[in-house]
Amino acid sequence: MIKISPSVLTADFLTLENDIKKLEDAGVDMLHLDVMDGEFVPNISFGNPIIKSIKAHTRLPLDVHLMIDRPHRYIDEFAKYADIISFHYEAGSDNAATLKRIRELGVMSAIVIKPCTEPECVFDLLPLCDMVLVMSVEPGFGGQKFMPQALAKLSALRDECNRRGLDMLIEVDGGINAETAPLAVKAGANVLVAGNYIFSADDMAARVKEIKSI
């Protein structure tokens, strides 16, 4: 079963509540929330107050992606509202301890790799993860073009999960649309983050249905 996690990064925040209701009706599985600090990535987005507000107005699980430096400092705060917390392998934390802490707080744990990071770097962390996120664009901005090299990373992670007997969610984020989604799924992804492709559509439900039909 393919899960759809629309990223609100490219949404119009003045109409976000209505758009979330439309996405709920369209059958999306969760909402992807990109938290950026202007240090780990060259952009600033939003923090826990916005996530708290979104949590109060949706039944959808919140897939919180921390693009921040030393994310271990904020895990306890984000765990108050997140259902999944993902953070970057490259962000300067004790990754194993951070993953364990996320689970201790009753939240699903996930590690993220940038396009420059090889999937083998996180193989030893897989038993501590509920999900792995492969970036198919450079993190920091929405609306970028899908990087094909992500496909080999997805395949390597899926093969390793199968070898270890892990029933893992593998998420891909960046440039997902009707053309790239089938490629990502074939490579091993089962959670698709789509931001601009969904939120820029006149009929968001149709876009969700299109991707879900893969």
Strands 131-135 and 31-36: unpaired
Q: What is the mean pLDDT of residues 175-191?
A: 96
pLDDT digits (tens, 9 = 90+) for 73-117: 999 999 999 999 999 999 987 999 999 999 999 999 999 999 999
User: Does the pLDDT value for residue 119 go beyond 80?
Assistant: yes
pLDDT at res. 30: 97
pLDDT tier at 10, thresholds 50, 70, 90: confident
83 is catalytic: no
Are 158 and 188 contacting, i.e. CB atoms less than 8 angstroms apart?
yes
Give, in degrees to the nearest 5, the angle at Cα 37 between 60 and 43.
95
In terms of C-beta density within 10 A (0-12 exposed, 13-18 middle, 19 or more buried), how is residue 167 classed?
A: exposed
Beta bridge partners of 7: 32
User: Does the pLDDT value for residue 162 go beyond 90?
Assistant: yes
Give the integer Cα–Cα distance in Å for 183 and 121.
Answer: 23
Give the integer Cα–Cα distance in Å for 129 and 108.
Answer: 8
Per domain, the residue ranges of the chain are: 3-212
pLDDT at res. 144: 80
Task: Return the structure tokens found at 98.
Answer: 């951070």
Share of the chain above pLDDT 90, in %: 90
Are 173 and 144 contacting, i.e. CB atoms less than 8 angstroms apart?
no
Beta bridge partners of 84: 63, 108
Catalogue the E-assigned strands of 79-149: 84-88, 108-113, 131-135
34 is catalytic: yes
pLDDT at res. 142: 72
Q: What is the mean pLDDT of residues 43-56?
A: 95
* Catalytically annotated residue among 19, 29, 34, 130: 34
Task: Return the structure tokens found at 109.
Answer: 């744990």
pLDDT digits (tens, 9 = 90+) for 12-37: 899 999 999 999 999 999 999 999 99
pLDDT digits (tens, 9 = 90+) for 125-134: 999 999 999 9
* Catalytically annotated residue among 29, 63, 130, 173: 173
CATH architecture of 3-212: Alpha-Beta Barrel (3.20)
Q: What is the mean pLDDT of residues 58-82?
A: 97
The label of the residue with tokens 């107050």 reads: 49
pLDDT at res. 150: 97
User: Does the pLDDT value for residue 141 go beyond 80?
Assistant: no
Give the integer Cα–Cα distance in Å for 44 and 37.
Answer: 5
